[in-house]
Structure 1
Amino acid sequence: MILKCIAIDDEPLALNLIRNYAAKIPALHLIQTFNDALSGAEFLRHNPVDVLFLDINMPDISGLDLIRSLNEKPQVIFTTAYKDFAYEGFELDALDYLLKPITFERFGKAFQKALDYYSAKQIQAESHPESLVVSSEYQRIKIALSDIEFIESSEKYIKIHLVKAKPVLTLISLNKVLEKLPEDKFKRIHRRFIVNVFKVKFISNQKVQLTSGVKLPIGKTYLHFIEEWLHY
């Protein structure tokens, strides 16, 4: 398993250090580095990565605000000289929090956390490849993936729309349920919607029409789905 990553930091020396450390780890592929948060955020909106090494205290927007602005969030490893932001970092489900100056040993431990996370996710997907288990109305329900047409976010809940049954409502975020689904079958197309790509009948005017006739919008940050869908 090779994890794709980028690094965002306004300090050139910090970026050079991350480049050097990443080059020593064969299973870590550093795609690109950015010295400002806005450019890095724009890249992330169109290029999904596994891991983001992110400074917190930057002049344009903070790393914390950058993460809050993203619909699709990679696993985040904060890199900062300030201890004060640790609590906020973990509130945003950061994978790790590295204090500068960062040693290679500490960098390696953070990478191992990321590798463990994605390894566990892969094992989970392989052990239950054809179903999704959720809690609904005080019950544990197993849903066949082939029965899911699309998933809709509704405040703190999501609504799982099924082909031949009434929707299932469960208390979980859209990001969390997406982690449980196979990436080759389910794609996020909007901040509120995930679709089963095999239930998409056609795409027109930045909208998908599903086999049931339901039409859903494609968000501006998810327009890459149109090109991806053509390859299915």
Structure 2
Amino acid sequence: MTSEAASLRAYLVDDELLAIERLQRMLAAFPEIEIAGTATDPAEAVATLNDSHSKPIDVLFLDIQMPGLNGFELLSRLNVQPFVIFTTAYDQHALRAFETNAIDYLLKPIEPEQLKRALHKLGRLRPVVKPDWQQNPALPQLLQELTASLREGHTTYPNRIASRVGERISFLPLDDVTHFIAQDKLTFAVVAGRRHCVDQTIVDLERRLDPAKFLRVHRSVLVNVDWIHEVNSWFAGKVVLTLKDVQHTQLTVARDRVRTLKDRLGI
């Protein structure tokens, strides 16, 4: 960020306390960011942000899927619209989110490089954006539409995946896939220890599949959490998963993914 963008006041809203704590730790690496407050209750966040005695914030890190008020409803109740960086495990609202005052869209679990990119983008825009940009008269209607869409719609995820071998295409039930692994520029779905080539990258699969079921534990590995049998901590902080398959497959967890894995498994 430029010096002009120094001392940005940020407010964090997410109904998961662990997600807020993780984001706080990541933001600590950016001295230009001052965390003005956090909230796990969206209604509490609205009250705080609308308090006329409170100093305005510069950027709002906001989850979309929350009980009570979702992220779009929260925005619709703010007296002044701040810059927004959405943080969520679901990407189906990404394009519409950019039509609001969103600076960026960070898919959970947030990667350090994603966060750095978003903050740099904020640093570029903030000094030059006109004040009335944040008071778009069409914004309230858009937020109402987004809220209605979020409440009425139900995210659907595929229950099988295609595997191609030459001209032959077979379909694999995702419940049977223990994990996906990327190797030699190819991606494989593993079923009963056997690898099946799929036409999607690990990144594509992470965004397409149910995030409650499939978790990325390494840049080249996406695991089906239902198949995890054991989590073993080895020397030097190394964490290894053992799966329930016949082969008792072991998968190494990247250091920056350990916390997310433990949060997901509740350990």
2:242 is aligned with 1:214: no
Q: Does 1:170 align with 2:211?
A: no
Separation of aligned partners in 1, 2:116 and 2:162: 23
1:74 Cα shift?
11
Instruction: Give the residue type in structure 1 aligned to 2:198.
Output: T
Distance verdict in 2 for CA 1:230–1:123, change over 3 Å: closer
- Are 1:103 and 2:147 matched, yes or no? no
Aligned-pair CA distance for 1:104: 3.6
CA distance in 2, matches of 1:135, 1:77: 40
Letter paired with 1:142: F
Distance across 2 between alignment mates of 1:156 and 1:104: 46
**Paired residue for 2:113?**
69
Q: Report if the CA contact (8 A) 1:132-1:181 is conserved.
A: no
Aligned residues: 174
The DSSP-based 3-state class of the residue aligned with 1:194 is strand
- Kindly state the Cα deviation for residue 141 of structure 1 after the two structures are TM-superposed: 3.5
Structure 1 residue corresponding to 2:262, chosen from 201, 208, 226: 226
Partner of 1:144: 173
* SS of structure 1 residue aligned to 2:175: helix
* Secondary structure, aligned partner of 1:176: helix
**Could you tell me which amino acid in structure 2 is paired with residue 181 of structure 1?**
L
Contact 1:209–1:215, Cα closer than 8 Å, also in 2 = yes
Deviation at 1:136, TM superposition (A): 5.1
Q: Secondary structure at the match of 2:200?
A: coil
CA contact (8 A) 2:162 2:198 kept: no
Change in Cα spacing, 1:208 to 1:49, as seen in structure 2 (3 Å) is same
* Cα distance in structure 1, aligned partners of 2:156 and 2:120: 23
Post-superposition Cα deviations, 1:106-157, rounded to whole Å, max 9, x if no partner, equal 9949x87xx69x96x95442xx4x3234555345432101210111122542
TM-score by length of 2: 0.47
User: Shift of the alpha carbon at 1:181?
Assistant: 1.5
Following the alignment from structure 1 to structure 2, what is the Cα–Cα distance between the partners of residues 162 and 54? 40
Which residue in the other structure is 1:16 paired with? 57
Give 3-state SS (helix, strand or coil) of 1:183's partner.
coil
CA displacement 1:11-62 (0-9 Å, x = unmatched)? 98xx83544x999941559xxxxxxxxxx9xxxxxx966679558xxxxxxx
SS at match of 1:149: strand
Change (3 A) 1:25 1:139: same
Kept after mapping to 1: 8 A contact 2:103/2:118: no
Q: What is the match of residue 63 of structure 1?
A: none
C-alpha change, 1:79 and 1:69, in structure 2 (3 Å) is closer
Match for 2:180: what amino acid?
Answer: I
Return 5+ residue gaps in structure 2 as ranges: 1-12, 15-19, 35-55, 64-68, 77-84, 105-109, 234-238
> Which one of 174, 178, 195 corresponds to residue 223 of structure 2?
195
What is the deviation of 1:192?
Answer: 1.4
Q: 1:100 to 1:17 in 2, by over 3 A?
A: same
Q: Distance in 1 between matches of 2:174 and 2:230?
A: 20
- The one-letter code of the counterpart of 2:217 is I
Q: Is the 8 A contact 1:147 1:162 kept in 2?
A: yes
Contact 1:187 1:196 in 2 (8 A): yes
Structure 1 portions without partners, runs of 5+: 30-39, 41-46, 56-65, 83-98
